[in-house]
Amino acid sequence: MEISLEGKVALVTGTGPNIGSGIALALARYGATVACNDLNPAAAKTAVERIERNGGKAIAVPGDVTDEQQVLGYINKVVETCGHIDILVNNAALLGGMGVLDESAEFFGRAVQVAAMGNFLNTKYVGRHMAERGIRGSIVAISSSNGWSGSAGVIAYAFHKGGVNNFVRAAAMDLAPYGIRVNSFTPTAPTPDNPELVAEQGAGGVLDRPRSGGIGGETGQEEWRRPARWSGARPPLVPMGTTGTPSDIGHCVAWMCSDYARLITGCDFVVDGGARAKNFAYAPAPASEVAGPVPLVPLDVTGELDKELT
């Protein structure tokens, strides 16, 4: 089965160097012209440069996904430059945070706003663009394992990712009469495979080396505090030994946006080595005895990371 997105135009929000950039690269490698959005213009530009050095076509469309006029502005720029939009990937989100006892109202509100308005505004206006022109397109929202199960230290993230999940189902029902499909994808702590990001931060994902201020971030030091998570030795967390990379996510999202998935809407796709499916009491075999998946099919042909990430 040869997936082709030739002739299609995709808009990806939040094209920072990890998941967003990986999805944008995948869509381009499968033939789409990709509009890379990010609040940070430099991040959008870097995503475009990564696509171009891998032989793809892309434009940068920076902007705030919570600002209606900015959203309309960059959507109009995509249409004016590329002619139409066939694919939307709502990836923009505010990461990090704290637990419910310590999170600030300011951070909580901003995190929820980015997810809520980002998904709503982009889906509304790209959906209208598709419906008005008879484009039977595909919209994908990026969820998280934190939207389906509880995890300490990320109360705002857990709240808004849970909202994304039902937004997808409701939007799928709204847009089904127009032949527009809406689905979600759930990643779980992917291991970076962007050469630039690895060069900056080193190899290994958050399961191997937790990010400062990320999952289970710092909390107060009062005497009554209890630990948020176990930090001692533990068996492998993932049945297949790895939660995958942004390239694994990108391959799946590209297929979701292709005509092969023409009847799939209102669904969630999971690529995480079995992490979400695992019962809490199940401990996989020791790392040395886990066969793991077949080798990664790389997307970034300029890098050699596929040898390290299989």
Q: What is the pLDDT of residues 143-172, one digit of tens each?
A: 999 999 988 889 999 999 999 999 999 999
Average confidence (pLDDT) over 110-129: 98
Q: What does the mean pLDDT of the chain come to?
A: 90
Task: Please list the alpha-helical segments (H only) found in 54-104.
Answer: 68-82
Lowest model confidence (mean pLDDT) among 40-44, 159-163, 224-228, 230-234? 230-234
Please say whether the beta carbons of 13 and 92 come within 8 A.
yes
CA distance 154 to 213: 10
Average confidence (pLDDT) over 183-206: 81
Is the per-residue pLDDT at 207 higher than 70?
no
Q: Is the dihedral of CA 194, 199, 200, 203 positive or negative?
A: positive
CA distance 88 to 44: 16
Is the per-residue pLDDT at 302 higher than 80?
no
Task: Please list the alpha-helical segments (H only) found in 212-300.
Answer: 246-256
Residue range 9-307 forms a domain whose CATH class is alpha beta
Is the per-residue pLDDT at 83 higher than 80?
yes
pLDDT tens, residue by residue, 29-79: 999 999 999 999 999 999 999 999 999 999 999 999 999 999 999 999 999
Is the per-residue pLDDT at 228 higher than 90?
no
pLDDT tens, residue by residue, 4-27: 999 999 999 999 998 999 999 999
CA distance 7 to 86: 9
Please say whether the beta carbons of 203 and 292 come within 8 A.
no
Please say whether the beta carbons of 232 and 241 come within 8 A.
no
Which pLDDT belongs to residue 223?
87
Average confidence (pLDDT) over 127-154: 95
Per-residue confidence at 241, pLDDT binned at 50, 70, 90? confident
**E strand spans, the chain:** 9-12, 33-36, 57-60, 87-90, 138-142, 181-186, 268-270
Q: Express as a percent the part of the chain with pLDDT over 90.
A: 68
Which pLDDT belongs to residue 307?
47
Hey, which residues does 57 pair with through a beta bridge? Answer: 33
Which pLDDT belongs to residue 26?
97
Which pLDDT belongs to residue 106?
97
Measured at the CA of 75, the angle between CA 108 and CA 158, to 5 degrees, comes to 20
Please say whether the beta carbons of 184 and 140 come within 8 A.
yes
Lowest model confidence (mean pLDDT) among 32-46, 90-104, 109-123, 279-293? 279-293
Per-residue confidence at 264, pLDDT binned at 50, 70, 90? very high
